[in-house]
Amino acid sequence: MAESQALSATQRSIIPIAAFTANGDLDQLKRALAAGLDAGLTVNEVKEILVQLYAYAGFPRSLNGINTLMTLLDERQAQGITDEAGADASPLPA
């Protein structure tokens, strides 16, 4: 695969977040979320990933993922880690 076609570390970190959310494995999801934030995903990007998953994994698992993210963010903040909020999601143009 050509280098220009390879996924970045940030893009690759989305895959385990989606997989562990869909499986409902919250322990592994917490690790994947931390890795994604460390790889450069913003808080709003992660939230959007979890919100979009409700259509595929169901609302309860999506909500569990969001709760796991919020808990992780509180823990990281207590450790002095500041995660970038990022841009808010915007609607598609009409």
Distance between CA 80 and CA 10 in Å, rounded?
22
Q: What is the mean pLDDT of the chain?
A: 93
List, for residues 25-55, the tens digit of each pLDDT value: 999 999 999 999 999 999 999 999 999 999 9
Biggest CA-to-CA distance, the chain: 43
Give me 42's structure tokens. 């913003």
Helix pair angle (59-78, 14-23), 10° resolution? 120
Delineate the domains of the chain, giving CATH numbers in brackets: 9-78 (1.20.1290.10)
Helix pair angle (59-78, 43-52), 10° resolution? 160
